[in-house]
Chains A and B, each alone.
Chain A
Amino acid sequence: MRHTISLLVENKFGVLSRIAGLFSGRGYNIESLSVGETIDPQISTMTIVTSGDDKIIEQINKQLNKLIDVIKVIDMTELAHVEREMVLIKVAPRQEDKAEVLRLTEIFRGRVLDSSKTTYTIEVTGDEKKIEALVELLKPFGIKEFVRTGKIAMGREGIRKT
């Protein structure tokens, strides 16, 4: 099963490679990873999306907890939480399709960041399903470039997942 794991770590050099090394050294896969400073510049958050059976996920959580630079490990999958990622998509629609591309962007609450004679660069944020849906719809119009951030996640306050 797929899990989204959120980490608080010391903001020091080498921490990222220690965490990446933990995954590679044990043959676990990282599907996405995003890192950034928190309000406290000495601490960073990492969001890791990985998958495996219960036994593997349990090991991953324990192994992450064991790392000296890791302050906290939260398996978001177990909690009510919100998840977001962002993509930038450069499409090159034919003249007659341009309006449709803009309409789709609107529906998905995307924004056009840049346009040229032949292309639009669109920004969308959302959860994975939303992004994938938009990508599917835009594909026929010719996607020239596609960049995706890792996922970020945050627990929801006062709500318990049943």
Chain B
Amino acid sequence: MKISGAEIFVESLKREGVKHIFGYPGGVILNIFDLLYDDKDIQLILTRHEQGAVHAADGYARSTGRPGVVLVTSGPGATNTITGIATASMDSIPLVVFSGQVPTMLIGNDAFQEADIVGISRPCTKYNFLAKDVKDIAKIVRESFHIASTGRPGPVLIDLPKDVTSAKAEFIWPEIKIRSYNPTYEGNRWMISQAAHLIAKSRKALIIAGGGVVLSGAARELKELAEITELPVTMTLMGLGSFPGSNKLSLGMPGMHGTYYANKAIQDSDLLIAIGMRFDDRVTGKLDAFAPNAKIIHIDIDPTSIKKNVRVDIPIVGDVKRVLTVLNRILKEEIKEQWGEVRKAWLRQIEIWKQERPMTYTYSDEVIKPQFVVEKIYELTKGDAIISTEVGQNQMWAAQFYKFDKPRMWLTSGGLGTMGYGFPAAIGAQISHPNKLVIDIAGDGSIQMNIQELATAVINKLPVKVAILNNRYLGMVRQWQELFFGERYSHTHLEVVPDFVKLAEAYGAIGLRATKPSEVEPVLKEAFKIKKTVFMDFVVHWKEKVFPMVPAGAPIDQMLFEEVKEKPEKKLKAVK
């Protein structure tokens, strides 16, 4: 029996186990939307902007590990997805984005609402397709899920012309075989054994864990490696949660806004074990001054990540989980080293750095310090919440002062740094985790980029919490202007910031506000009790900066710290 392309499409999604799609309708995609009208298995979540739909699907994917699915119309609907797709691409997040397209006979004719989305999205997708024949739909859907979620994951876009979704064909669920796509999963055994011996010889080694550890589900293997080797672990922004932040071997985050002790340890180390991370410039700082004495072992599924930025002594291409399993076995069964004194000296040195410059900020009784809000969130949730962030100071404070013990609880736009990411991502995470506390730590600038998704959250009865660290500035840019542009705050003062409480109420959500430090805890407690969407407006100290900080292009151990102008009533608060 022949069925329509739209029916083949929906059936294919069901075979892929899709339960939720994030999307926005339009003329050329109506054949599919019509089928979803009374479908029992697949729920379409209508966002208020296509960018919101992609970020929501991205939050869904990051928090579950399964590909997020997006369905939008042609032209403006499709182009509105680009920022979301680029965000997912930079962070290797599996997404499958379906865009409607004008009928095949009109493609290339500047038809109404036509955009060459396959061309536009090419550089920011892992792969993309134009479905030209109804007979190819099932195969294309299947291949796109396969490509998006295997190897180094990433977004895949499929363009569906209107006539292809109305044409008819038999439904055949094909086997897939892509002859030119064969990711390497098993690391080279000899290289892994070389790595083990290098680890055994090293005196001051350090593990740097990145987002790849989270993506490959290797948190357990990483912890085992740290325990066998008694080595400290620093986690990149994308790697937070891959190793327990509260573990005594954790050094927090390295790099531009990383901890003093992580950066000192990197610079002093004789061996870096880089796992599923790609030596982003925010991590390395000035390249030729990075880890001058260290040999480097680099494990990554993507060969192009290896030796792209830094020299590597032992490259291992493979899936992090599988490579670590082999590495751990060699260390345990063949090398059986007891490091004892060697490690003690190194860990003692790190302890000294930790004492020298712990992660701190100056607490105030009068004005709310943004770090204090993040710290309170951590305290009250005991770390058991999914945290998303926007971009800017809010993101860095969340990374610095919240401790992630488990993977997939931290959703942030690391590679592209997309303002407006956090709120829709939190919506996607809440859809997939209806009973979990999901909190977007936001800036007042960023939240305004996708604030329209309040409607999506309210309609779907999502108890997402948004904690706005409201400094009335584009804080991170203001910080740079303050430090490097002589306090010329060119266009970073927002002047008019909406009344977030009233705005939340206008959408039917709950708005709460804290203007004094003493109100922070009560506001958070109340918000966490309410089973509805809540915006919390924390009016914070506008001049607060993110420290420590490595100026762009400087070596990572040349850090700026907060100038503590001691006032008697201000006490220095230390975060363990």
Contact = CB atoms under 8 A, between A and B. Distances in A.
Contacts of B178: 68
Contacts of A25: 123
A117 interface: no
Contacts of A10: 180
Contacts of A63: 304
B180 A70 contact: yes
B444 interface: no
Contacts of A38: none
B407 to A, nearest CB: 25
Contact of B304 (A17, A66, A70): A66
Nearest to B305: A62
Nearest to A72: B180
B147 interface: yes
B307 A18 contact: no
B181 interface: yes
Q: Is the interface of B mostly helix, strand, loop or mixed?
A: mixed
Contact of B179 (A14, A55, A71): A71
B308 interface: yes
A59 B304 contact: yes
A69 interface: yes
A58 interface: yes
A58 B180 contact: no
Contact of B180 (A59, A62, A71): A71
Candidate in B123, B147, B180, B302 with the most chain A CB atoms within 10 angstroms: B180
Nearest to B181: A68
Interface string B89-132: 00000000000000000000000000000110011001110100
A105 interface: no
A68 B307 CA distance: 21
Interface string B208-250: 0000000000000000000000000000000000000000000
B126 A68 contact: yes
Contact of B303 (A17, A21, A65, A71): A65
B78 to A, nearest CB: 16
A25 B304 CA distance: 15
A69 B180 contact: yes
A66 B303 contact: yes
Nearest to A24: B123
A10 B147 CA distance: 16
A71 B182 CA distance: 10
Interface string A47-83: 0000000010011001101111111000000000000
Interface residues of A, number: 20
B107 to A, nearest CB: 11
A17 B180 contact: no
Candidate in A58, A59, A68, A71 with the most chain B CB atoms within 10 angstroms: A68
A23 to B, nearest CB: 11
A62 B304 contact: yes
A14 B118 contact: yes
Question: Which interface class (under 10, 10 to 19, 20 to 34, 35 or more) fits B?
Answer: 10 to 19
A59 B126 CA distance: 17
Candidate in B118, B147, B181 with the most chain A CB atoms within 10 angstroms: B181
A67 B127 CA distance: 8
Contact of B119 (A17, A55, A59, A68): A17
Interface string A12-24: 0110011001000
A65 B317 CA distance: 14
Contacts of B127: 68
A69 B181 CA distance: 8
A144 B410 CA distance: 65
Contacts of A67: 180
Nearest to B129: A14
Nearest to A65: B303
A96 to B, nearest CB: 53
Interface string B442-475: 0000000000000000000000000000000000
Contacts of A55: 307
Contacts of B180: 9-10, 67-71
Interface in B165-200: 178-181
A58 B312 CA distance: 13
Nearest to B132: A13
A105 B281 CA distance: 56
A15 B305 CA distance: 23
A62 B308 CA distance: 10
B18 to A, nearest CB: 22
B122 A17 contact: yes
A70 B147 CA distance: 14
B118 A68 contact: no
Contacts of B181: 68
A62 B303 contact: yes
Nearest to A9: B180
Contacts of A18: 122
A86 B118 CA distance: 34
Contacts of A62: 303-304
B181 to A, nearest CB: 5
A119 B482 CA distance: 70
B308 A59 contact: yes
Given A14-B122, A14-B128, A59-B308, 18 more contacts: A13-B130, A14-B118, A21-B122, A21-B123, A55-B307, A58-B307, A59-B304, A62-B303, A63-B304, A65-B303, A66-B302, A68-B126, A68-B127, A68-B147, A68-B180, A68-B181, A70-B180, A71-B179
Interface of B: 118-119, 122-123, 126-128, 130, 147, 178-181, 302-304, 307-308
Interface of A: 9-10, 13-14, 17-18, 21, 25, 55, 58-59, 62-63, 65-71
30 contacts: A9-B180, A10-B180, A13-B130, A14-B118, A14-B122, A14-B128, A17-B119, A18-B122, A21-B122, A21-B123, A25-B123, A55-B307, A58-B307, A59-B308, A62-B303, A62-B304, A63-B304, A66-B302, A66-B303, A66-B304, A67-B180, A68-B127, A68-B147, A68-B178, A68-B180, A68-B181, A69-B180, A70-B180, A71-B179, A71-B180
